[in-house]
């Protein structure tokens, strides 16, 4: 998009710029903001700067077709969520297998439709969704088996990747678009959380008012309204982020700037507390599991914070804080990695141990690459882009590993 944007501005092609903006407003705004300093003085660039800088108090609800698509997609997502009720299935059987299918196909459909994707791409995306649904619902083995649980954990990552493939349009190899997808996910989480909080308040008020007049609607409300609302929240969130990028594009940087130092302090205190209490991740399986969950959470914060923290206006302190967080996370990863290697050497390979070992190795490798580029960026800020690129390049590696765990592990370990 960047080169196309420059070319269309310098050749004075406003129609093509408008088409690019309508295709992906959030990414267009982000790319233009980065490019404007070098395009300043170009009449068309100055016009777009004024247009994008203008902050309307109104929320854009898109076109009628877009709203209709969001409503239909939300209804379909809610219907999928209600399958256990309609088909008389055990919810404990259905949701562990299918919860990701409630959201990701609808989100993928939204971006395929917005970008006017080819029929071939649409068929490919939904063929993979269908194959994945058939696979996880007919996977042999007991529901308590390790390989089944691992498949249920890792398959949503593959479905998220399909959503990302739909988001990236015709440029799945474009590193900038991959980073744009990560940032979009951060904005989507913020917007969806706001919608769910508002929905929770509405639920409490509604139930309370009906309770005052002695009408018990709780069962009906949760079965026929709340579940559809919960399923629709991420779809509505994606639509609002896409059509109103200004709603949350100032929230994510604040979250990154505030939480990065707080998480670093928490992690240092936690490591000190582990040493003080004498907790042993080498022999305590539950503690090792929590340790790895902590590692994944901190890694996610690094991934979603790094783009904002490395901007010049955040200064050297922000970069040093993020570097410190990366180094401490590497230490945590090292402890977790040695613990799982110890457990494998003592008690042998199991699906869980091998999955955790592979995941830890990938995260450690990614962190080392990211930290190396962060050190380079401290010496020369122009190299900061390499930090982001290293994250974007590594995403397919996580996806391939998730596919191996979800599809290959059950076969290798006999569906145990």
> Over the chain, what is the mean pLDDT?
81
Cα separation, 405 vs 154, in Å, equals 7
Domain boundaries, the chain: 2-53, 64-248, 250-412
Q: Which two tokens stand for residue 406?
A: 């979800």
What is the percent of the chain with per-residue pLDDT over 70, rounded to a whole number?
A: 84
- DSSP helix, strand, coil percent of the chain (3-state; round to 5): 85, 0, 15
pLDDT of residue 29: 73
First to last CA, the chain: 47
Mean local confidence (pLDDT), 345-352: 86
Q: Which two tokens stand for residue 118?
A: 């080819």
Model confidence at 313: pLDDT above 50:
no
Each residue's pLDDT tens digit, 244-301: 776 776 676 677 677 778 888 888 887 788 778 776 666 666 666 676 677 777 767 7
Mean local confidence (pLDDT), 170-183: 78
Could you tell me which residues come within 8 angstroms of residue 161 by beta carbon, excluding any fewer than 6 positions away?
399, 402
Cα torsion through 298, 299, 303, 309, rounded to 10: 40
Mean local confidence (pLDDT), 309-334: 73
Mean local confidence (pLDDT), 332-343: 84
For tokens 């900061």, the residue is: 384
């Amino acid at each position: 998009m960047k080169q196309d944007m420059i070319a269309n501005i310098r050749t004075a092609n406003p129609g093509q710029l408008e088409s690019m903006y309508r295709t992906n407003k959030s990414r267009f705004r982000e790319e233009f903001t980065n490019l404007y300093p070098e395009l300043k003085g170009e009449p068309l660039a100055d016009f777009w700067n004024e247009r994008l800088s203008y902050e309307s108090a109104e929320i854009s609800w898109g076109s009628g077709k877009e709203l209709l698509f969001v409503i239909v997609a939300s209804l379909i997502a809610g219907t999928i969520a209600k399958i256990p009720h309609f088909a008389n299935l055990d919810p404990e059987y259905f949701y562990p297998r299918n919860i990701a299918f409630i959201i990701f196909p609808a989100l993928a459909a939204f971006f395929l439709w917005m970008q006017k994707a080819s029929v071939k791409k649409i068929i490919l995306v939904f063929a993979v969704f269908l194959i994945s649904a058939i696979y996880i619902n007919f996977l042999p083995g007991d529901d308590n088996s390790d390989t089944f649980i691992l498949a249920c954990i890792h398959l949503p990552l593959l479905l998220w990747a399909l959503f990302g493939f739909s988001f990236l349009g015709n440029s799945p190899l474009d590193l900038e678009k991959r980073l744009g997808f990560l940032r979009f996910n951060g904005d989507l989480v913020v917007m969806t959380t706001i919608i769910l909080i508002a929905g929770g308040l509405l639920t409490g008020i509604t139930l309370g008012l009906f309770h005052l007049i002695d009408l018990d609607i709780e069962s009906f409300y949760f079965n026929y309204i709340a579940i559809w609302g919960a399923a629709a929240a991420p779809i509505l969130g994606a639509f609002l982020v896409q059509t109103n990028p200004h709603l949350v594009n100032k929230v994510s940087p604040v979250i990154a700037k505030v939480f990065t130092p707080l998480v670093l302090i928490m992690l240092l205190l936690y490591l000190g507390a582990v040493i003080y209490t004498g907790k042993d991740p080498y022999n305590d399986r539950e503690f090792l599991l929590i340790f790895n969950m902590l590692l994944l959470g901190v890694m996610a914060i690094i991934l979603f914070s790094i783009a904002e923290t490395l901007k010049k206006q955040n200064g050297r302190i922000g970069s040093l804080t993020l570097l410190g967080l990366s180094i401490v996370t590497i230490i945590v990863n090292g402890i977790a990695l040695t613990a799982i290697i110890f457990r494998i050497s003592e008690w042998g390979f199991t699906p869980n141990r091998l999955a955790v070992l592979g995941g830890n190795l990938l995260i450690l490798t990614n962190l080392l690459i990211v930290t190396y580029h962060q050190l380079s960026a401290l010496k020369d800020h122009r190299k900061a882009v390499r930090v982001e690129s290293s994250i974007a390049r590594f995403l397919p590696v996580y996806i391939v590993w998730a596919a191996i765990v979800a599809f290959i592990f059950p076969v290798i370990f006999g569906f145990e």
